Structure 1
Amino acid sequence: MKKLLSIFMSLCALFLLTVCAKNEESIQIETAIQETWDQTSNTILESEEISMRQISVKWNDKHVIYELNDSPISTSLMEQLPLTVEIENYSTNEKIFYPPEKLDARDSPLAKGGIGTLAYYEPWGDVVFFYGDFRENSSLFELGKVASGEEMICEMTGTMTIDFVQES
């Protein structure tokens, strides 16, 4: 953030210089300012997009963080956030919940297996938190992977809040 503030202040100083003298040099300075501004804007947008792909799953006083992949199905889930849902036990390796609307699985990757995978089972319309290994399934799409708190997935119970990770 300090770096962005420093860049912004530099841009302001360069702008003031261009106002004072309109010649060939000031035109070059204006061009440099615009290029720097464009690069800074793109960097800010990219960093916001990256942080927006992390979600937090909270219940009681615990939470697990997931990093979502860049797929239509993950975007479809993010568009429904924040959510307050009831978690259910299913089988011996997963917890599930049903989002209010079905997710768009077109052109999305299949879940490959592995503890900590966040997936969507399209036939039933449920989101799955895997805390044990699983087999690949042509109807099971990957949303992302656990970023922190993997050991707590099996403890998920009751009402949960799912939302974007808040920058601190």
Structure 2
Amino acid sequence: MNNEISRQQFGARLHRGASFRGRGIKEAVTWMKNVITLSAAAAIVLASCGGDTGSKRLKGGSTVSSEVRIKMSFHNQEVIVKMDDHPTSRDFINQLPLTLTFEDYAGTEKISMLTRRLNTESAPSGFDPAAGDFTYYSPWGNLALFYRDFGYSSGLIKLGHIESGREKLADLNGEVTLQRVETGGGESE
């Protein structure tokens, strides 16, 4: 009789808490060796993936770090947004600089249509925005900057959150210039 257990049996036992009641010591030892081997292999794989600087490559060879900020300039005022790090926000950052026209919508948010839809692959199905959230509404293809809390919206994707200047949102109407804020080494060519 072979005391080795299959990977499927190993996974099932691991999932059930690895009960070996009524089994031999040899099978329990084999199971423990498998656990140790898998743990060691996982540690080696994770260690070999080191060196991640938190940067993502953009078109043209530039990179975006996970600490990207954008500046929204309008009527001699500025709002700074700290961007989240995921494919949809990186796609937006890749379009900068932009000049867009914002308008009030529903007394809750400032919106602007983008000329091109953003990549929404791997994006959540919706989001529950709070005041200060910078978002993309995929069904319409527009940016939405919330100055009041709002309920869950299907198709809404958070791009970032206002870091400074939230009190200036009441004046945000008309033409707004959006550009990436350069912070000591955030972008490289």
- Give the alignment's TM-score, normalised by structure 2: 0.61
Structure 2 CA distance, aligned partners of 1:54 and 1:120?
16
Shift of 1:82: 0.3
Structure 1 CA distance, aligned partners of 2:54 and 2:90?
20
Structure 2 CA distance, aligned partners of 1:95 and 1:157?
8
Judge conservation of contact 1:57–1:64 (CA < 8 Å) in 2: yes
Residues 133 and 60 (structure 1), Cα distance of their counterparts in 2 relative to 1, 3 Å cut: same
Judge conservation of contact 1:58–1:64 (CA < 8 Å) in 2: yes
Judge conservation of contact 2:147–2:169 (CA < 8 Å) in 1: yes
- Superposed CA deviations along residues 70-99 of structure 1, whole A, max 9, x for unmatched, are 111101101110001111111111001112
Higher helix share goes to which structure? 1
Structure 1 CA distance, aligned partners of 2:141 and 2:88?
12
Judge conservation of contact 1:114–1:130 (CA < 8 Å) in 2: yes
Residue 171 of structure 2 corresponds to residue 155 of structure 1: yes
Count of residues in Structure 1 that have an aligned counterpart in Structure 2: 128
2:103 counterpart residue number: 88
Residues 126 and 43 (structure 1), Cα distance of their counterparts in 2 relative to 1, 3 Å cut: closer
- Give the alignment's TM-score, normalised by structure 1: 0.68
Structure exhibiting the larger radius of gyration computed from Cα positions: 2
Give runs of aligned pairs for residues 1-168 of structure 1, distance below 5 A. Answer: 49-51=65-67, 53-109=68-124, 110-167=126-183
Higher strand share goes to which structure? 2
Gaps of 5+ in 1: 1-38
One-letter identity of the residue aligned with 2:156: L
Structure 2 CA distance, aligned partners of 1:87 and 1:128?
9
Structure 1 CA distance, aligned partners of 2:85 and 2:182?
19
